Chain A
Amino acid sequence: MKQTMKGLLAGVALAVLATPALTTAAFARDITIDLAGEPSSLDPHMQWNPDSYYVYRNVFDNLVTRDNAGEIVPQVAIGWEQVSDTEMAFTIREGITFHDGEPLTAEDVVYSVKRITDPEFGSPQLGQFNQIVDATAEGNVVTLTTDGPYPALLAQLVKLSIVPQHVVEEVGAEAFNAAPVGSGPYAFEAWNRGVDVRLTRNDAYWGEAGPFEAAIFRAVPDAATRVADLQAGTADLVVSIDADAGAQLSGNPEVQLLSAPTERVGYVGLNLDKPPFNDLEMRKAASLAIDRQGITDGLLQAGEVPMSQMSSPAHFGYNPDLPLFEYNPEQAAEITVANPDLAGTPATLATAPVFDQRIVQAVQQMLNDVGFNVSISMTDMPTYLGIVRSEPAENSELSFGRWSCACQDADGIAYPTLHSDSSWSRVNVPELDTLLEEARVSLDPEVRQAAYNEVHQIVRDNYYLLPMYQAAVLYGATAELQFEPTANESMFLNRMSIAE
């Protein structure tokens, strides 16, 4: 028996000692970033969740990009021109080389467009690019043809990374995902699955390559641990922390909190075909009952901004002159008291665990306080999606949702939530459909803006759905890191710097 115990202990000790030895010490000018999860993919034409694109947008150049102010500016394309209603010509920058030393050509751009729009390839981003029906190269000019006039084309192309045709065709999609080759300011070095992704600076980069020699993106799923890493000095930048963690950091002179409004808009969807919200007065009462400012300032506290339209200042098509919704629970109660039977109709508020339940519960409470009869129906995400996309008869009376198109154009947020064709929309108003279609195909920004202004006004006047707030993201960083978070939640290393 003694032998057994000894053997057991020896085995345990061996296994413990087998842990890899100390890894190379970090250089002073490296940056370590704690993400919530590891990237799903480093192939920019596959998954596009934030944990993936935080990393790969540093490895690849995109056709165009947005500057920190949100304007679309040249990247691989140095200029573009609308040739006809359905054709746009891009002049490709010369002198860009991929990390393997090969030049980036117009053919690589054409290949990238064709790859991501090929239904066989099965990119989850297909829906953002499938309006492009053809891509051709002539010299250093690439012409993209769309299936109709498509004003949001440039906004979509902000997300189109250019991949090297020769590498992808030679190694195949799987190997390319495991060891991507791009032309961006940072080159891929290693992906330790489940642990981190390491990038090194591309000193041959055509633009500004950034202050860090290397970047390490780690997967740290627990927000409290990310905050602790920052406080302990083992991470320089951490993502996705909430206001509570933020409060923990405030007062610590070694770290700073950075907040940026995003292009996600939180809203309460209403079923316009079922009582009680088929009634305009009831919808008005519901809107009056919800204290949007209270939710953003009291609950969320990360820099969220109350909204009264299905777009945000980060979107083209936002109307800054549209007034906010009024919060007046007394008036709401007067409306419901006048028609207690209708207001008391049982209504379910559909939600899923991914949404902030504090908001959902606050909305339920605020509505019930003025005389509605709302209960929360929390289901798993697939069930929730099934409910909110179903026909009005099966649909819930209320739903909470957050919308982002990652395109910063009202077309990507107002059309799917308000046009009668969209499975997400429970609104069926011909006038709105006409305006949304007009804004979708017009190439004149003024015409589009005017159409969206009218859409926002109609939705607000009729309370077709209840926009709530523009969501914000909160980052924690060491005090000397200079980083300006943007609405599209990108993390460009070459736009950061270190204060001396």
Chain B
Amino acid sequence: MLRFLLHRGGQALIAAFGVVTLVFFIQRLTGDPTALLLPETATQADIEAMRATLGLDRPLGVQYLDFLRDMVTFDLGRSFVQNAPAWDIIASRIPQTLQLAAGALAVALLIGLPLGLLMALTRGRAVSRWIMGLVLACQSMPTFWSGIMMILVFGVWLRWLPSSGTGTLAHLVMPSIALGLLSLATYARITRSAVLDELGKDYVRSARARGVGIRRLVSRHLMRNSAIPVISITALEISQLLAGAVIVETVFAWPGLGLLTVQSIAARDFVVVQAVVLLGAFVTIFANLAADILYSVVDPRVRLEGK
């Protein structure tokens, strides 16, 4: 087991090193940020002075080694634009993004699962086709459009919900729905096909023959047996939600990591952009590592193959 852990841990470290290197050099490829940080009227001397302040006048190799040292000591650098450590800036936004992702997941699960079940149970009937149409609409609407439409209807016209911002539970409703719509459609479709699969199996037929009612059948058998694909898709959906948050957070002025990314790009705050990218990459790498380890705990065969 220890050998397996070392092996997987080593792989994760190599991946992390690759990401760090890639981020460093890609960022240098996109050009010198100094000119962007200074007013248009800045002279060449002003630009040189700023390059020296930021340490960009040193040889690339030296900058790279410095950058690696910072990474090893978990120093993500300092935002020149906001004049604060990048990690502090990011940390202040993480709870907001988690809240939104949780809200969206709740919307997707609480609406998507029953819809999927209903579609499966009413297969071939008009109800099923109507719901499928609705689900497809959810999946096809781009978030930046559906978000604005929701704001106009519920925020401006009906005035039921705050049009943007954060602070109360009411603020969370529209962004959660906007972000959850796509996942909702995925869940509904996955649930539908999983339940249909189960419906065709022998045990269902036997149960029906024994006179088990549909309600009991669903709650005792179908739900449980169809849950496996639903749970495995959830892991994927969470990363989808984090990506979708960039647009939803921008539309609803929701102050999470997605909005921070957009704001930092607009403000040319490359230290923060770089830190967000690194954070995303590390989360992915270590989530995969954790999943690998979990698999090996659950299924010892994985451990043996992973030698």
Interface residues of A (CB under 8 A from B): 1-2, 4-5, 8-9, 11-13, 15-23, 34, 37-38, 40-41, 43, 46-49, 119, 122, 124-128, 130, 173-174, 177-178, 192-195, 218-222, 224-225, 228-229, 231-234, 380-383, 385-386, 389, 403-406, 412, 416, 423-424
Shortest Cβ gap from A417 to chain B (Å)? 10
Give the CA-CA distance A47 to B266 in the complex, in Å. Answer: 14
Interface pair A219/B253, CB less than 8 Å apart: yes
Interface pair B163/A232, CB less than 8 Å apart: yes
Give the CA-CA distance A406 to B30 in the complex, in Å. Answer: 28
| B276 adjacent to chain A (CB < 8 Å) | no
Interface pair A195/B42, CB less than 8 Å apart: no
Shortest Cβ gap from B251 to chain A (Å)? 5
Q: Contacts A9-B109, A193-B89, A380-B30; is A225 near B251 (CB within 8 Å)?
A: yes
Chain B stretch 94-125: residues in CB contact (< 8 A) with chain A: 96, 98-99, 102-103, 105-106, 109-110
Chain B residues lying within 8 Å of A404, measured Cβ to Cβ, are 40
Shortest Cβ gap from B4 to chain A (Å)? 25
Interface pair B227/A1, CB less than 8 Å apart: yes
Chain B residues lying within 8 Å of A12, measured Cβ to Cβ, are 102, 105-106, 109
Give the CA-CA distance A127 to B41 in the complex, in Å. Answer: 7
Interface pair B260/A16, CB less than 8 Å apart: no
List the 8 closest A-B pairs by CB distance, nearest first: A382-B31, A194-B255, A15-B102, A220-B253, A232-B163, A122-B53, A12-B106, A23-B167
Chain A residues lying within 8 Å of B144, measured Cβ to Cβ, are 222
Interface pair A194/B164, CB less than 8 Å apart: no
Give the CA-CA distance A417 to B294 in the complex, in Å. Answer: 63
| B166 adjacent to chain A (CB < 8 Å) | yes
Give the CA-CA distance A8 to B266 in the complex, in Å. Answer: 36
Shortest Cβ gap from A297 to chain B (Å)? 27
Chain B stretch 5-56: residues in CB contact (< 8 A) with chain A: 30-33, 35-44, 46, 49-50, 53
A-B contacts, 21 of them at CB < 8 A, read A1-B227, A1-B228, A12-B105, A12-B106, A12-B109, A15-B98, A15-B102, A16-B99, A16-B169, A16-B176, A19-B99, A19-B172, A128-B39, A130-B46, A193-B92, A222-B250, A224-B151, A229-B163, A380-B30, A382-B33, A412-B41
Interface pair A224/B148, CB less than 8 Å apart: yes
Interface pair A219/B255, CB less than 8 Å apart: yes
Chain B residues lying within 8 Å of A218, measured Cβ to Cβ, are 165, 253
The residue of chain B having its C-beta at the shortest distance from the C-beta of A122 within the complex is B53
| B152 adjacent to chain A (CB < 8 Å) | yes
| B287 adjacent to chain A (CB < 8 Å) | no
Give the CA-CA distance A37 to B53 in the complex, in Å. Answer: 25
Chain B residues lying within 8 Å of A423, measured Cβ to Cβ, are 43-44
Q: Is the interface of B mostly helix, strand, loop or mixed?
A: helix
| B259 adjacent to chain A (CB < 8 Å) | yes
Interface pair B39/A1, CB less than 8 Å apart: no
Q: Which of A22, A195, A383 contacts B31 (CB 8 A)?
A: A383
Give the CA-CA distance A278 to B96 in the complex, in Å. Answer: 56
Q: Which of B78-86, B130-138, B296-304 contacts A (4 or more CB under 8 A)?
A: B78-86
Shortest Cβ gap from B254 to chain A (Å)? 9
Q: Which of B98, B162, B224, B231 contacts A234 (CB 8 A)?
A: B162
Chain A residues lying within 8 Å of B163, measured Cβ to Cβ, are 225, 228-229, 231-232, 234
Interface pair B263/A221, CB less than 8 Å apart: yes
Give the CA-CA distance A40 to B98 in the complex, in Å. Answer: 24
Size bracket of the B interface: 35 or more
Chain A residues lying within 8 Å of B269, measured Cβ to Cβ, are 40
Chain B stretch 145-172: residues in CB contact (< 8 A) with chain A: 148, 151-152, 155-156, 159, 162-169, 171-172
Chain A residues lying within 8 Å of B164, measured Cβ to Cβ, are 220, 225, 228-229, 234
Chain B residues lying within 8 Å of A49, measured Cβ to Cβ, are 267
| B139 adjacent to chain A (CB < 8 Å) | no
Interface residues of B (CB under 8 A from A): 30-33, 35-44, 46, 49-50, 53, 81-84, 89, 92-93, 96, 98-99, 102-103, 105-106, 109-110, 144, 148, 151-152, 155-156, 159, 162-169, 171-172, 176, 223-224, 227-228, 231, 234, 250-253, 255-256, 259-260, 262-263, 266-269
Q: Contacts A23-B167, A40-B81, A380-B30; is A125 near B39 (CB within 8 Å)?
A: yes
Chain A residues lying within 8 Å of B172, measured Cβ to Cβ, are 16, 19
Interface pair A37/B83, CB less than 8 Å apart: no
Give the CA-CA distance A1 to B194 in the complex, in Å. Answer: 15
Interface pair B41/A382, CB less than 8 Å apart: no
Chain A residues lying within 8 Å of B42, measured Cβ to Cβ, are 124, 127
Interface pair B251/A222, CB less than 8 Å apart: yes
Give the CA-CA distance A232 to B165 in the complex, in Å. Answer: 13
Report which residue of A8, A126, A128, A233 has the largest number of chain B beta carbons within 10 angstroms of its beta carbon: A126
Chain A residues lying within 8 Å of B49, measured Cβ to Cβ, are 119, 122, 126
Chain A residues lying within 8 Å of B106, measured Cβ to Cβ, are 9, 12-13, 16
Give the CA-CA distance A162 to B194 in the complex, in Å. Answer: 68
Interface pair A385/B36, CB less than 8 Å apart: yes
Give the CA-CA distance A4 to B30 in the complex, in Å. Answer: 46
Report which residue of A232, A383, A403 has the largest number of chain B beta carbons within 10 angstroms of its beta carbon: A232
Q: Contacts A21-B168, A380-B30, A380-B31; is A124 near B39 (CB within 8 Å)?
A: yes
Give the CA-CA distance A126 to B153 in the complex, in Å. Answer: 48
Chain B residues lying within 8 Å of A16, measured Cβ to Cβ, are 99, 102-103, 106, 169, 172, 176
Chain A residues lying within 8 Å of B227, measured Cβ to Cβ, are 1, 4-5
Give the CA-CA distance A1 to B148 in the complex, in Å. Answer: 38
Give the CA-CA distance A219 to B264 in the complex, in Å. Answer: 13
Give the CA-CA distance A424 to B40 in the complex, in Å. Answer: 9
Q: Contacts A12-B109, A225-B148; is A43 near B83 (CB within 8 Å)?
A: yes
The residue of chain A having its C-beta at the shortest distance from the C-beta of B230 within the complex is A5
Q: Contacts A21-B168, A177-B84, A222-B253; is A382 near B148 (CB within 8 Å)?
A: no
Interface pair B169/A177, CB less than 8 Å apart: no
Interface pair B259/A18, CB less than 8 Å apart: no
